[in-house]
Amino acid sequence: MMILILEKMIEEGNPAFSCSWESARLGKAGFLAHSRLFVLYTVLKPNFWLRSIHMKVLITGGAGFIGSHLAEACLKRGDEVYIIDDLSTGSENNINSFREDERFRGRFFVTIGSIFDHETMLELTGISDVVFHMAAAVGVRYILKNPLESIRINIQGTEKVLELCAKFKKKVLIASSSEVYGKHLHAPLVETDNIIYGPSDKFRWSYAASKLMDEFTALAYFRTKGLKVIVARLFNTVGPRQTGAYGMVIPRFAEQALTHEPLTVYGDGNQTRTFTYVKDVVKALIALMENEETPGEVFNIGGTEEITILELAQKIIRASGSASAIERIPYSEAFEKDFEDMQRRVPGIEKIKTAVGFEPETDLDTILERVIADVKKKKGL
Ligand SMILES: NC(=O)c1ccc[n+]([C@@H]2O[C@H](COP(=O)([O-])OP(=O)(O)OC[C@H]3O[C@@H](n4cnc5c(N)ncnc54)[C@H](O)[C@@H]3O)[C@@H](O)[C@H]2O)c1
């Protein structure tokens, strides 16, 4: 029980555990109180010290959907967090709720700028202990609209981050994507599977190929320069703050359902996906970063509850009490002529489970409840 209370205090960023300057501010009484809590916790959970060493964390794309949740989780652990984001798909709204938070005062630093700004990245990488590289051109719809810029951000941007991490010998995690697997039909997809793409005039594959190139580059830095780099292949990650603007299916359906518009299902709707709650994903990212055995390896991160997109649409209509209909739209209309979708996308998660004990904790119904509440709040419904 005592461990649970103390863990809750740490998780919530309670000042009693948040940082050493806080104990200095509280004077002798505060210092003694802190010391007792730490001693008690250390006795109850001896590996606490390993987990509690506060880090300087740089998150590229930190005002994005996943990046902002990661920043918040690191702040709650007591880390000092630096983010850089050019707000191309991210938003300051994603970080405003904790930007002004008293608990994080003096520990959260935001740079609105690009990872291509060499001087800024030099400084930020230099002062950080570890780097989470989340910045990217994300989502097939965005990539089809901005093909050249997307390739540049995903390939040259990642190379830039890796180069600086190698220069300063900083451990780095690269966010890759389940898209890299391409058009497989089998499930689950495991890290050692082959990769199958369509031809290069079908631009939807450029996202997959650019993320795959990131993985090759990261692993080459590991092999040739000894850079501690971890590759995280994220499957569909969902939760509050995700925008439906770039085609992400759950927020898009939730917005359509709540405004009683038809839910637009692409293709026949029999394609399947799994969805993982963003806070579960963030836990996995932090665990991968903390583990000494993970560098040089690729890990799937995803959920295992497979659902067709048609069933998902029906579920969202029910969960939001909507009167919306479902409208099927051919892929060629929704995206481009001869658009190819991945029919199944289910991760094998044995590798990450064995390495860091990751298992998704939040079920789809709970995820949908939270996303619907978030969309309602954003839309003032
Ligand atoms: N959300 C998912 O389901 C999912 C699935 C697979 C992989 N990923 C990967 O996870 C990472 C984060 O994705 P997300 O869903 O949070 O998307 P997101 O669009 O919300 O986050 C990406 C962030 O990067 C920022 N950014 C883009 N170019 C930049 C640049 N040049 N300099 C600085 N910032 C820049 C954007 O403004 C945005 O805030 C990406 O690398 C993405 O490929 C996400």
Q: How far is the CA of 64 from the centre of ligand 1 (A)?
A: 6
Does 103 map to a domain? no
- The domain total for the chain is 1
Question: What range does the domain containing 16 cover?
Answer: 2-44
| Interatomic CA distance for residues 350 and 2, integer angstroms | 32
Q: Which two tokens stand for residue 182?
A: 């391409």
Pocket of ligand 1 (CB under 6 A): 60-61, 63-67, 84-90, 114-116, 134-136, 138, 153, 157, 175, 177, 234, 236-237
Q: Which atom of ligand 1 is nearest to the CA of 135?
A: 24
Please report whether residue 235 resides in a domain: no
Domain assignment of residue 16, yes or no: yes
Angle of CA points 230, 62, 104, to nearest 5°? 110
Residue 41 designated active-site: no
What pLDDT digit, counting tens, does each position of 259-284 carry?
Answer: 999 999 999 999 999 999 999 999 99
- The 10s digit of each residue's pLDDT in 194-217 is 999 999 999 889 999 999 999 999
Q: Is residue 173 one of the residues assigned to a domain?
A: no
Tens of each residue's pLDDT in the chain, 381 residues: 454 454 444 444 444 443 333 333 344 555 455 555 555 554 554 444 444 568 999 999 999 999 999 999 999 999 999 999 999 999 999 999 999 899 999 999 999 999 999 999 999 999 999 999 999 999 888 888 999 999 999 999 999 999 999 999 999 999 999 999 999 889 999 999 999 999 999 988 999 999 999 999 999 999 999 999 999 999 999 999 998 777 789 999 999 999 999 999 999 999 999 999 999 999 999 999 999 999 999 999 999 899 999 999 999 999 999 999 999 999 888 888 878 888 899 999 999 999 999 999 999 999 999 999 999 998 888
Protein residue with least CA distance to atom 21, ligand 1: 64
Cβ of 7: how many Cβ atoms within 10 Å?
A: 15
Which secondary structure element, helix H or strand E, spans residue 91, and what is its range? none
Check 41, 82, 207, 266 and give the catalytic one: 207
Q: How far apart are CA 270 and CA 342, in angstroms?
A: 11
Using the mean position of ligand 1's atoms as its centre, give its distance from the Cα of residue 321 in Å: 31
155-272-200-220 Cα dihedral, nearest 10 degrees = 30
Residue 155: CB atoms within 10 A of its CB come to 17
Nearest to 278 by CA among 318, 251, 296, 310: 251
Tokens representing 213 are 């190139």
Buried b (16+ CB within 10 A) or exposed e, 312-351: bbbbbbebbebebebeeeebeebbeeebeebebbbbbbeb
Q: What is this structure's pTM?
A: 0.87
Residue 148: inside a domain, yes or no?
Answer: no
Sequential DSSP letters for 34-87: HHHHHHHHHHH-TTHHHHH---EEEEETTTSHHHHHHHHHHHHHT-EEEEEE--
Helix, strand, coil shares of the chain, percent, nearest 5, are 50, 15, 35
In a domain, 8, yes or no: yes
Q: Would strands 130-133 and 56-60 be described as parallel, antiparallel, or unpaired? A: parallel
